[in-house]
Amino acid sequence: MKRSNHDHPHKDPVCGMEVSHLTAIDVLEHQGKTYYFCAHTCKEAFETEPGKYIHHHRQHGIKPQ
Ligand SMILES: [Zn+2]
Domains of the chain (ranges; CATH) run 10-53 (2.30.170)
What is the distance in A from the centroid of ligand 1 to the CA of 12?
A: 5
Mean per-residue pLDDT pooled into runs of 10, the chain (65 residues): 65 95 94 95 96 73 56
pTM: 0.72
Taking the centre of ligand 1 as the mean of its atom positions, its distance from the CA of residue 5, in whole angstroms, is: 23
Contacts of 29 (CB under 8 A, 6+ apart): 35
Question: Which chain residues have CB less than 5 Å from ligand 1, an ion?
Answer: 12, 14-15, 17, 38, 42
pLDDT for 41 equals 98
Integer Cα distance of 63 and 48 in angstroms: 28
